[in-house]
Amino acid sequence: MSSRNSALVPFIMEHQDNIYRLAYSYVHNKDDALDVVQESIYKAMKTKSPLQDSSAIKSWFYRIVVHTALDLLKKRKRVQPIEDEQLHAIMDESEDHYSDVDMTRSLEQLPDKYRIVVVLRYFEDLKIEEVAEVLHENVNTVKTRLYHALRLLRIEMSQPS
């Protein structure tokens, strides 16, 4: 094991459950999620990790996980690009429903790009800036997506931190 990845190994060991859940939130099954975890680690170990700082490593490694998961989905051709009309249909639908909607299902019904910002921001506790880094998007795009996502989930957004 190379010493240049000395901060990476402990990070992965310590956060393996989070890494798995992040992968799972894309692929929705155990085997694929394990594959994504495995593949992400291979990729990360092959590359020199940019920084020793643990929060930088987190964004950097999560980005690898996100890319790997998306690659896998692409290979499986399960990704269906969401059109605006469809999106509005989902939004309208969710607005028409009441609070007895099963929340997990509605989170899973969100298009990937909306779901992931919720996962990263609220479940993995990344800062907006870090989410932007993981997704390679600018901060405003992330904020917009988060706003849409929460609206889709019928969650009132408190003042963004």
Partner 1 sequence: MDHRLEQLKEQYSQIPIPEELNAVVLQALNRSSRRRTARRRWISAAAAAILIVLIGINTSPAVANAFASIPGIGQWVKVVTIREYFVEDERHNADIKVPEISNLGDDKLSAGLNEKYLAEGKQLYEQFQKDMQELRDGHLGVDAGYAVKTDTEDLFVIERYVVISMGSSEEKLKYDTIDKRNHIALTLPMLFKNDQYIKAISENIIEQMRQRMKDDPNQIYWIEGAADELSEDEWFRTIKPDQSFYIDASGHLIVVFDKYEVGPGYMGVQQFTIPTEAIAELLASDQYIK
Distance CA 36, CA 88 (A): 31
Q: Which parts of 61-120 interact with partner 1 (CB under 8 A)?
A: 76, 103-104, 107, 118-119
Task: Give whichever of 42 and 92 is closer to partner 1, judged by the CB atom.
Answer: 42
How far are the Cα atoms of 24, 74, 83, 152 from residue 78, in angstroms, in the given order?
Answer: 15, 6, 15, 22
Site string for partner 1, 39-58 (x = CB under 8 A): --xx--x-------------
Distance CA 131, CA 139 (A): 8
> What sign results for the dihedral spanned by CA atoms 117, 73, 109, 16?
negative
Task: Give whichever of 122 and 147 is closer to partner 1, judged by the CB atom.
Answer: 122
> Which residues contribute to the site for partner 1 (CB under 8 A)?
1, 3, 6, 9, 12-13, 16-17, 19-21, 24-25, 30-31, 34-35, 37-38, 41-42, 45, 76, 103-104, 107, 118-119, 122-123, 150, 153-158
